[in-house]
């Protein structure tokens, strides 16, 4: 695979989308390195990638401890088992998959500093997907407001693999509207200023609908 070329193409596509849409907020590209080893991840960092994402705790820790670079930002993007919170939470800059109150309570107990979290929402209501249903959010925020280690920076969502582009765009659009409404509540520690959405197959649609973090894996590592 040609990492330098792939990286350049992704960054260019994102830059073009950002300027076409005249986005006020920058869009950060998280390179999802779950498919590759430490050495390949290091090559990406040497090419200038600063945001790294992993979906599993063991892989996250391996890369966190071995990959070297200036001002790297570490994203844990996959669902987190409560018993693993203590092993990893203090190394995480952004946690993208907050999907239960019990998990938030465990983070509250184990983290030594506030953690920037995305609430994962299941807008498409797929049974196989993690995340809260939209109607659960109000009651949930009341509970989360009691936890001073949880900073809710925004929503994270994913689209069904088989959905059409129109369906995907509608899901991203809805996520953006909900995020904006939550931001308007101005709850302490809940800025809802970011949106984590868009993967290799749909990041253009996500950026059009206001993503501020896209999580891209496969496109970095294709042939």
- Give residues in contact with ligand PLP (CB under 6 A): 32, 34, 55, 77-78, 199-201, 215-218
In the bound state, the residue with its beta carbon closest to ligand PLP is 217
* Joined tokens for residue 143: 């509970």
Q: From the CB of 29, what's the least distance to ligand PLP, in Å?
A: 11
Q: Encoding tokens for residue 174?
A: 């809805």
Nearer Cβ to ligand PLP, position 192 or 213? 213
> What's the closest the beta carbon of residue 59 comes to ligand PLP, in angstroms?
11
Please, what is the minimum distance in Å from the beta carbon of residue 10 to ligand PLP? 10
CB-nearer residue toward ligand PLP: 78 or 210: 78
Min separation Cβ 214 and ligand PLP, Å: 9
Which of 91, 11, 103 has its CA nearest to residue 59? 91
Nearer to ligand PLP, 78 or 154 (CB): 78
The least distance separating ligand PLP from the CB of residue 39, rounded to whole angstroms, comes to 19
Phi, psi of 214 (to 5 degrees): -110, 145
Q: Report in angstroms how near the CB of residue 60 gets to ligand PLP at its nearest.
A: 12
Q: What is the DSSP secondary structure assignment for residue 196, as one 8-state letter?
A: E
Beta carbon nearer to ligand PLP, 111 or 199: 199
CB-nearer residue toward ligand PLP: 77 or 104: 77
Three-state DSSP at 79 gives coil
Residues near 219 by Cβ (< 8 Å), separated by ≥ 6?
A: 6, 9, 10, 200
Residues 6+ apart with CB under 8 A from 128: none
Give the dihedral of Cα atoms 151, 134, 128, 149; nearest 10 deg.
10
* 156 vs 170: CA distance, rounded Å: 15
List of residues 6+ apart from 78 with CB closer than 8 A: 54, 55, 56, 96, 97
Identify which of residues 189 and 200 has a Cβ nearer to ligand PLP in the complex.
200
């Amino acid at each position: 695979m040609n990492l330098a070329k792939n990286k350049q193409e992704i960054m260019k596509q994102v830059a073009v989308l950002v300027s076409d849409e005249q986005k006020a907020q920058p869009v950060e590209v998280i390179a999802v390195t779950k498919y590759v080893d430490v050495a390949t991840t290091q090559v990406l960092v040497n090419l200038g990638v600063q945001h790294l994402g992993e979906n599993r705790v063991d892989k996250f820790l391996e890369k966190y401890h071995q990959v070297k670079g200036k001002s790297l930002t570490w994203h844990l993007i996959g669902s987190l088992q409560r018993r693993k919170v203590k092993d990893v939470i203090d190394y995480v800059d952004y946690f993208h998959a907050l999907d239960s109150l019990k998990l938030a309570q465990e983070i509250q107990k184990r983290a030594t500093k506030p953690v920037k979290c995305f609430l994962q929402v299941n807008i498409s209501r797929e049974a196989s997907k993690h995340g809260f249903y939209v109607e659960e959010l109000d009651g949930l925020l009341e509970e989360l407001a009691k936890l001073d280690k949880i900073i809710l920076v925004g929503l994270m969502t994913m689209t069904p693999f088989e959905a059409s582009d129109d369906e995907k765009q509608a899901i991203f659009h809805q996520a953006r509207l909900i995020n904006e409404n939550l931001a308007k509540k101005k709850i302490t520690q809940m800025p809802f200023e970011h949106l984590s959405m868009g993967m290799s197959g749909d990041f253009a649609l996500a950026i059009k609908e206001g993503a501020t973090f896209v999580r891209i894996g496969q496109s970095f590592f294709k042939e």
